[in-house]
Amino acid sequence: MNPRKYVDFKLYLTRPEGGGCQVSLLPTQEVGETITPVTVAADKGPSADQLPYLAAKSITLRQLVQFGKGLANWLLPEGTIRSLFTEALKRAGNAGGVRLRLVIADHCLKNWPWEYVYFDPLGGPDSMRGFLALEPRVSLVRHEPLPFPHPEPVATNAGLRDLRMLVAAASPKNLNPLQVDSEVSTIKQALAGFQVEGVKIAIDTVMDATPPEVEQALRGANSTYLFHFVGHGVSESSSDPFTRGATKEEGYLFFLEDKATKSQAKVKADDLARYLHPAGVRLAVMGACFSGNRSERYPWDSIAGAFAARGIPSTVAMQYEIFDTLAIRFAQAFYSSLSSGLSLDEAMSFGRLAMYREIATELDSVAKADWGVPVLYSRLSNGILFPEFAERDTTTAKQIRMAIQQTVDTIETTGEVTGIEAKLENGSYNVVQKVGVVKGKLTGAEGRA
């Protein structure tokens, strides 16, 4: 089965005076563009009152649908932009896809969980297929607007068989304590004995990490392909020494200055990126605290932006807390997909579907929505993180793509979304069961699924 080819649908978002959202469709050969930006008032968008419930995993399915529709009103406003998106998805067909690339220029808009946007191009009664993040033909990508060329990973000359992953963890004494041991254990559990189609992920961990230790661990060109940080992060405003009277926003990560006292060492995200890029890091995963409690003052984007500006091709962050079991499912599916030759877009889709098992049986029951927690930041033009694997026609890649295609076909014919259950066995990610999730339609009037 051939790779799914995605058409870029580039949306430029900023906040107009008075609030709300202003969106423009940027030019692409396949789609076109809009001439006049569309402004949508704040009261047409999502309700900020629902954000605490979403973060606390106490939002109901009814509330989540309405919240997602508000996001869609901002992101895909009725009229030309919404019509062009619907047409692009129609032209892509079941074998293609649309990459919904969000170029967000305002920190306030970056704080919204766009991964829960709800819009059903087919119309009809509400159903789970309206959540675009669960539609395999749609890839949601946050694109940092930066005045730098887009990165393109270059294939190594030698065959790539070992993907080294560095996990750095730190919890300074003066900051809120973190369960770093538990999170590192989760990562190790997810990738224990990992070997897919002859490709291995070798995990090196640096606990109570100090900046010199991390720097040393990242020594050597193409020494590290995957980087995961467990710890605290923050974004702060400071004066810009190059522009009088101006301020700038910078992201910081907290390591340890001294292991004995566990005193903190605050490291600029840009400084860390200086080590990540020469080491060959292609994917950075940020598992810092407060990632589930974003605000205007603490935009994760300054950290992801620093990585992007230094040429790190992609960053994945969890915007809310996530259950360990679901984190394991996502990690296994995501990394198995990448090492089998799938694109970032396909890997994110498979990771979400592997997390997705069941929903609330009643509209007013608490929604199970961890599938929207992972966030992909990337400036890659085609989503190919490992070109070394992209041309391989592996058994695992065929299985994963077939499972995803079955989900696409199911959505098309029945309107149902299916979760994917699979196991990592003997160097292959075997799909053992696909679970039909939605039985019937969601209707607000009847209050049932």
Q: Same structural domain for residues 120 and 12? A: yes
On whether residue 329 sits in a domain, the answer given is: no
Are the beta carbons of 355 and 326 closer than 8 angstroms? Answer: yes
On whether residue 444 sits in a domain, the answer given is: no
Q: Same structural domain for residues 25 and 140? A: yes
Question: What does the pLDDT profile of the chain (449 residues) look like in tens digits?
Answer: 788 999 999 999 999 988 999 999 999 988 988 888 999 999 999 999 999 999 899 999 999 999 999 999 999 999 999 999 999 999 999 999 999 999 998 888 988 999 999 999 888 788 888 999 999 999 999 998 888 888 888 887 767 788 899 999 999 998 888 888 888 888 888 787 777 778 888 899 999 999 999 999 999 888 899 999 988 887 776 665 655 656 666 788 899 999 999 999 999 888 999 999 999 999 999 876 444 344 455 454 568 888 888 889 999 988 888 887 888 888 888 888 888 888 999 999 999 999 987 666 678 889 989 999 999 999 998 899 988 887 777 788 888 888 899 889 888 888 788 888 877 666 566 776 665 444 333 333 333 33
Strand partners, 97: 6
Q: Same structural domain for residues 259 and 393? A: no
Q: Same structural domain for residues 189 and 286? A: yes
Residue 274 is predicted with a pLDDT of 93
Structural domains counted in the chain: 2
On whether residue 394 sits in a domain, the answer given is: yes
Q: In terms of C-beta density within 10 A (0-12 exposed, 13-18 middle, 19 or more buried), how is residue 406 classed?
A: middle
Q: Same structural domain for residues 23 and 118? A: yes
Residue 298 is predicted with a pLDDT of 46
Of 312, 329, 364, the residue that ends a domain is 312
What are 26-84's pLDDT values in tens digits?
A: 999 889 888 889 999 999 999 999 999 998 999 999 999 999 999 999 999 999 999 99
On whether residue 155 sits in a domain, the answer given is: no
On whether residue 259 sits in a domain, the answer given is: yes
Residue 411 is predicted with a pLDDT of 87
Q: Which two tokens stand for residue 217?
A: 């661990």
SS3 category, 293: coil
Q: Which two tokens stand for residue 294?
A: 């974003």
Q: Same structural domain for residues 25 and 121? A: yes
Q: Same structural domain for residues 181 and 233? A: yes
Alpha carbons 287 and 150: distance in angstroms, whole number? 24
Residue 423 is predicted with a pLDDT of 72
Are the beta carbons of 321 and 113 closer than 8 angstroms? Answer: no
Q: Same structural domain for residues 140 and 170? A: no
How wide is the angle at C-alpha 295 spanned by C-alphas 262 and 257, nearest 5°? 15
Strand partners, 431: 422
Of 312, 328, 346, the residue that ends a domain is 312
Q: Same structural domain for residues 116 and 201? A: no
Indicate the helix (H) or strand (E) that contains 414.
helix 395-414
On whether residue 419 sits in a domain, the answer given is: yes
Q: Same structural domain for residues 210 and 178? A: yes
The CATH number of whichever domain residue 209 belongs to comes to 3.40.50
The range of the structural domain enclosing residue 250 comes to 162-312
Of 297, 312, 327, the residue that ends a domain is 312
Q: Same structural domain for residues 353 and 277? A: no
On whether residue 82 sits in a domain, the answer given is: yes
On whether residue 217 sits in a domain, the answer given is: yes
Q: Same structural domain for residues 139 and 166? A: no
Residue 448 is predicted with a pLDDT of 31
